[in-house]
Amino acid sequence: MTELARLSFSIEKPLLERLEKLLKLSKYANRSEFIRDMIRQQLVGREWDTDQQILGTVTLLYNHDLHKLSEKLTELQHHHHQNILVSTHVHLDKHLCAEVLLVKGRARQIRQLANKLRQQKGVLHAALSISSTGKSLA
């Protein structure tokens, strides 16, 4: 296990009160883990901002009745096959489909892929969730 370091820092009282409120709302067991997670969140954001190799998911919601939409989405995914690790398709009802893609690659490529999917006519929602390959978090 990595050796722990203890630190102290100064913070304005109103900001500390907000931190305590966030802690209470998020139900973290302790302040240290909350702050560790905030740091990790910043590190992941930095990976995305600097176009590193990242991991993420794209969630799509669309109506498959729309002419050629399914084919277009499949074609786009084939074009970006190197960035898509796995995909899952769920038929939500008679018309609506949901797809989740686990994606990996340069942050810019992944954003482009998510944008292209989002911009297809008939896609009702496309959400990109950002995560990490974990290299900067170890």
Q: Which residues have CB under 8 Å from 133's CB, separation 6+?
A: 53, 54, 55, 104
Q: Which of 1, 13, 9, 56 is nearest to 35 (CA)?
A: 9
- Distance from C-alpha of 35 to C-alpha of 58, rounded to nearest angstrom: 27
Cβ 109 to Ni ion shortest distance, Å: 26
The reply to whether 97 sits near Ni ion by the rule CB under 5 A is yes
Site map (CB under 5 A) of Ni ion, residues 76-95, x = contact: ---------------x----
Nearer to Ni ion, 16 or 92 (CB): 92
Nearer to Ni ion, 55 or 97 (CB): 97
**13 by DSSP, 3-state: which?**
helix
Nearer to Ni ion, 19 or 69 (CB): 69
Residues binding Ni ion (CB under 5 A): 91, 97
